Structure 1
Amino acid sequence: MADRKKRCTGSPQTDAVAEFLSAQEATAALQSECLWLLLTYESIRLRDEGLQVDGTQPQASDTLDDQGILTTTSSAADDEADSHTMHDDAAFISPPSAALAFKGASWDCLGDATKSLSCGKAFYFDSRGDLVLKVGEAFHEGGRDFVVCSRTVARWSKVFNAMFFGGFAESISSARDGTWTVALPEDRAAPLFLILAIIHGTHQPIPMGLGRDELFDLLIVTEKYDMTHVLRPWASQWVQNLPLDNYENTTGQYRDVWIAWELGCEASFCKMLNDILWDCRVDDAGQLINVHGVPLSTIPCLEPSSILENISFKRAELIERLINCLRRAMKTSLTMSRCEEELAEIRHCNCSDVNFENRSAFITKEDCDDLFLGSIMRRIREMGLEEFVLPRATFSSYLGSIHDVSDLILLEEVNGHVEGHDSCDLWIVVQIEVKEMVDNLSSPVTETHLEYLRNQAKKTGV
């Protein structure tokens, strides 16, 4: 370049050319620096998300454990030894549609079908394919190349149809040699490989069974591109081999909710939502939290988005009804007498130093009512529910779960304190009412949700 500039000097015209060349060099240097800064930023971003630029796992990554607590795990040999105890809790902190966050699926079920991809070779789903999908550059250096028939893909997906033939940038063949390449950097290669195999009729690599992680990973992609219906021949078998709502930790529970929602597994979805309603609590800020204190609003697997509002409403409604049972029992004890005995011998006191010589060892109806009113108040105080049941100047909301408050009431032992007055204890009535409420727990799943689930079931055949 220096020689070229030297030959161009000596006239105004050649000086102008030299200035132009110098400007080109400066522009190239600036572009190079910008590219370096961009790559540096991308490297930092991927590192913060738990990935290296080459798509491999870093030496140490921060995840949320089964209790929703941030922990640091190693990805060296120790991980392989402890792999059976590790669970993917990334679903707590990023949306299911962003597959970058999900790191649990191994996809060993695809066997040898994807070996050529690891060698950098393109996989041909159609020998006459007119489109190259470059998939997963965020996970694998250079991505994975899938050669497909663009019209086949478009027929099975309205999203891809609009992308390829709707005038978007992806529909333009920009390469000089006329090849058509579309980049899908944030999609994982393995689940998209399985989807493309299904729609191109390449059924050999399709596994007879999928693990929970793989099925979750797959449904992220099918939901993104509106392709859940392509799973119809296999979805019912995959779910049958993988019973939903049979989870070992809360993360598995939330993933199962997403799977049931996308596949249209109505019974499993309703059961799991009832379980979440049964156990959820409220923090000091008024947020719904799970048993480990993790806000439910940060768990994107809980689809649909309106479900948390329903859970919050149903929880508050039932807890208020449970508290009202205790209030009614106190009011009844104050205003009405349940006692039908004239006199009854005291049997509730075991104190050896009590002297009954100068006082009656029998109680009246009024004594009976007072005795059991005091018993109800004592129980409420011992349960820690006094501030929610008794009238106070300031109102307090109960932060525990339906499970917590119902167990406090139902597990309280009822003994016959006074001979002949066993039926006078209103706590028996309270327990009957509470058990009936719990047995008829109102589901947070609405008719709109059920309609969606049934439509999904028609698509998938589950």
Structure 2
Amino acid sequence: GETKGRGDSTPGRGGPVQFDPDGELQLEVGAENAIFVVCPRSLARASPVFKAMFYGGFSEARQATGNWRVKLPEDDPEALALLLNIIHGRFDKVPLVLVDSKIYKITVLSNKYDLTEALRPWAKRWTKAFVEHSANSAQVAWIAWELGDRVLLEDMLDDLLLDGSLNEDGDLVSGWDGQPLNSFEMLALMNVVEPLHKKRMEVLTSLLGPINQLLQSLLGVGEPRRRRCVCYSSQLGYSEANVCDAVVLSSLMKGLAKADLFPLPQPEDCPGPLQDFYDRIRGLGNSIKSLDINAGSRGGKRSDHTGCNPSKELLDKINWVWRHDRSVIDEKHKSHLEIQAKKSGFAPAEEDDPL
């Protein structure tokens, strides 16, 4: 028989929600079976997935007798209600501003039912409010993936890379909630968790490289560093240069110990966030010293060791690594983002064809 219900679209508050008063189909949504009365033809026109479900010979198709009901127990009722408002032209019930957690649930369903294009009038406005480091980077990364916003996706993946750390099992975990990224289903669909883990090891290796190279040269077991000592004493010049190296080595080791990085660790022994690691090694610049000598020498000239301090050169190398491209986006990612951007409106507008 006919199902009467409310005209508003707030699920779970009373009886069925009518998105179409003449709707032939009842959707039972979520764990609490919120009932939505909808027009199946409208859903089929908007979504090829719904079209296949309702008119493709599947179990969700209308039976010969009884009411037409379809169960969607895994879907979020509030998120689906918003999509149904869009599909049924009830635009006054679509918020212009949404928090990222709600947009995330909506985009999970827009991906499931191939409804990304339906979000086009609101997509840019919804994501405009996102501020760097202010939200759940994993969820926002998914939103960017679904809407084809490459800039936002790059930012969020970089947040996951810099703020994430390794748990006891060696899994990369979110700096936001401590959950392993490989347990986040939507990130798995994006195929970014393993690239993030690999990129993390690459960055750590590159950051440790210049420090290890300097240590090895000062210990005499690596390539000798270029000496910049200006020693005028013919009798003490050689030993003075060695003393300068010893001062640099000692201060470097003290700086590393102060940063809890001595002995110098291997990349796999650095489980903390990359951002914290970078901040610690950047502080080495204030720790490294060279020989400070005031003794006189030949012709009244003094030895000069101010150019022996390697801190600037070391920090230049470290900062270059840090500024270097950390992107994990590959060509397959780019291709997907281009397709989604055309659906959502994030792609640049194409010029009209000439008449």
Question: What's 1:320 paired with?
Answer: 205
Does the 8 Å CA contact 1:337/1:365 hold for their aligned counterparts?
Answer: no
CA distance in 1 between partners of 2:126 and 2:13 (Å): 27
Please report how far the alpha carbon of residue 307 of structure 1 lies from its aligned counterpart in structure 2 after TM superposition: 0.6
Does the 8 Å CA contact 2:292/2:305 hold for their aligned counterparts?
Answer: yes
SS of the residue 2:111 aligns to: helix
- Indicate whether 1:156 and 2:46 are aligned: yes
Does the 8 Å CA contact 1:197/1:205 hold for their aligned counterparts?
Answer: yes
Give the partner amino acid of 2:107.
L
- Indicate whether 1:147 and 2:19 are aligned: no
Give the 3 Å change call, closer, same or farther, for CA 183–336 of structure 1 in structure 2.
closer
Does the 8 Å CA contact 2:251/2:289 hold for their aligned counterparts?
Answer: no
CA distance in 2 between partners of 1:453 and 1:245 (Å): 20
Please report how far the alpha carbon of residue 122 of structure 1 lies from its aligned counterpart in structure 2 after TM superposition: 4.8
Deviation digits for residues 44-96 of structure 1, max 9, x if unmatched? xxxxxxxxxxxxxxxxxxxxxxxxxxxxxxxxxxxxxxxxxxxxxxxxxxxxx
Does the 8 Å CA contact 1:135/1:184 hold for their aligned counterparts?
Answer: yes
Identity score, percent = 28
CA distance in 1 between partners of 2:98 and 2:150 (Å): 20
Give the 3 Å change call, closer, same or farther, for CA 367–343 of structure 1 in structure 2.
farther
2:25 to 118, 126, 131: 131
Give the 3 Å change call, closer, same or farther, for CA 285–193 of structure 1 in structure 2.
closer
- Indicate whether 1:175 and 2:65 are aligned: yes
Question: What's 1:450 paired with?
Answer: 334
CA distance in 2 between partners of 1:279 and 1:204 (Å): 39
1:300 to 182, 185, 208: 185
Does the 8 Å CA contact 1:337/1:369 hold for their aligned counterparts?
Answer: no
Does the 8 Å CA contact 2:229/2:307 hold for their aligned counterparts?
Answer: no
Does the 8 Å CA contact 2:96/2:122 hold for their aligned counterparts?
Answer: yes
Question: What's 1:403 paired with?
Answer: 275
Give the 3 Å change call, closer, same or farther, for CA 306–147 of structure 1 in structure 2.
closer
- Indicate whether 1:113 and 2:4 are aligned: no
CA distance in 1 between partners of 2:173 and 2:52 (Å): 40
Please report how far the alpha carbon of residue 435 of structure 1 lies from its aligned counterpart in structure 2 after TM superposition: 0.7
SS of the residue 1:132 aligns to: strand
- Indicate whether 1:342 and 2:226 are aligned: no
Q: TM-score, normalised by structure 1?
A: 0.63
Give the partner amino acid of 2:71.
A
Question: What's 1:386 paired with?
Answer: 262
Does the 8 Å CA contact 1:387/1:396 hold for their aligned counterparts?
Answer: no
CA distance in 1 between partners of 2:21 and 2:57 (Å): 24
Give the partner amino acid of 1:147.
V
SS of the residue 1:323 aligns to: helix
Does the 8 Å CA contact 2:173/2:179 hold for their aligned counterparts?
Answer: yes
Please report how far the alpha carbon of residue 363 of structure 1 lies from its aligned counterpart in structure 2 after TM superposition: 6.5
CA distance in 2 between partners of 1:280 and 1:451 (Å): 27
Deviation digits for residues 312-344 of structure 1, max 9, x if unmatched? 111111111221211211233323451331159
1:243 to 85, 106, 130: 130
Q: Where does structure 1 lack aligned partners over 5 or more consecutive residues?
A: 1-110, 345-359
Give the 3 Å change call, closer, same or farther, for CA 157–115 of structure 1 in structure 2.
closer
SS of the residue 1:452 aligns to: helix
Give the 3 Å change call, closer, same or farther, for CA 228–126 of structure 1 in structure 2.
farther
Deviation digits for residues 111-169 of structure 1, max 9, x if unmatched? 98236973314515253x33232333x135xx313131x22211211211111122111
SS of the residue 2:95 aligns to: coil
Please report how far the alpha carbon of residue 297 of structure 1 lies from its aligned counterpart in structure 2 after TM superposition: 1.9
Give the partner amino acid of 1:306.
N
Larger Rg belongs to: 1
Does the 8 Å CA contact 1:173/1:181 hold for their aligned counterparts?
Answer: no
SS of the residue 1:144 aligns to: strand
| Match runs of 1:183-262 below 5 Å | 183-240=71-128, 242-247=129-134, 252-262=136-146
Count of matched residue positions in the alignment of Structure 1 and Structure 2 = 321
Does the 8 Å CA contact 2:10/2:78 hold for their aligned counterparts?
Answer: no
Please report how far the alpha carbon of residue 458 of structure 1 lies from its aligned counterpart in structure 2 after TM superposition: 0.9
Question: What's 2:316 paired with?
Answer: 432
CA distance in 2 between partners of 1:437 and 1:312 (Å): 17
Q: TM-score, normalised by structure 2?
A: 0.80
SS of the residue 2:74 aligns to: coil
Q: Where does structure 2 lack aligned partners over 5 or more consecutive residues?
A: 1-5, 294-303, 347-355
SS of the residue 2:42 aligns to: helix
Does the 8 Å CA contact 2:154/2:327 hold for their aligned counterparts?
Answer: yes
Does the 8 Å CA contact 2:181/2:193 hold for their aligned counterparts?
Answer: yes
CA distance in 2 between partners of 1:265 and 1:437 (Å): 26
CA distance in 2 between partners of 1:212 and 1:373 (Å): 49
Give the partner amino acid of 1:245.
E
Give the 3 Å change call, closer, same or farther, for CA 303–337 of structure 1 in structure 2.
same
CA distance in 1 between partners of 2:239 and 2:198 (Å): 46
CA distance in 1 between partners of 2:273 and 2:123 (Å): 35
Does the 8 Å CA contact 1:339/1:369 hold for their aligned counterparts?
Answer: no
Deviation digits for residues 236-285 of structure 1, max 9, x if unmatched? 22223x2253515xxx2222122111111211110111121112222332
Question: What's 2:252 paired with?
Answer: 376
